[in-house]
Amino acid sequence: MNGENFVVAQDIGYWDNIIREQMPDSKFFLQDNIDALSEIVRSSTMPAFVTDITLRVFSHRTNRVYIPISDEAAIEHFFCICRTDDASKYERFLQTLQRRIQ
């Protein structure tokens, strides 16, 4: 994928460093408006990135082919941490997260 042009959301946090380090020959067209980004993705042939969660929500809205990225640099793990005393307060939230990742 290095060398391809991509349309990308402007505020992608630490992913910005990852894509620039892993694809130094690529150009990234940043969009600060999610509606504009979605429209560009729908109407252009430029590739774009999507997370597995976003894919589950929005995949039916486009005629795109989704290709998983298996590179180790693209795999991130997130944790939800709370005090043991507060676990019951977050139980429903944690169950929802668990269902979404399966």
* pLDDT score, position 70: 82
In the numeric block, which tokens belong to residue 40?
A: 């560009």
- Across the chain, which has 102 residues, the per-10-residue mean pLDDT values are 93 91 95 89 87 71 77 81 88 81 64
Taking the CA atoms of 9, 13, 17 and 23 in sequence, report the sign of the dihedral they define. negative
Spans of all domains in the chain: 5-101
* pLDDT score, position 63: 75
Kindly state the helix (H) or strand (E) to which residue 89 belongs, with its residue range.
helix 87-101
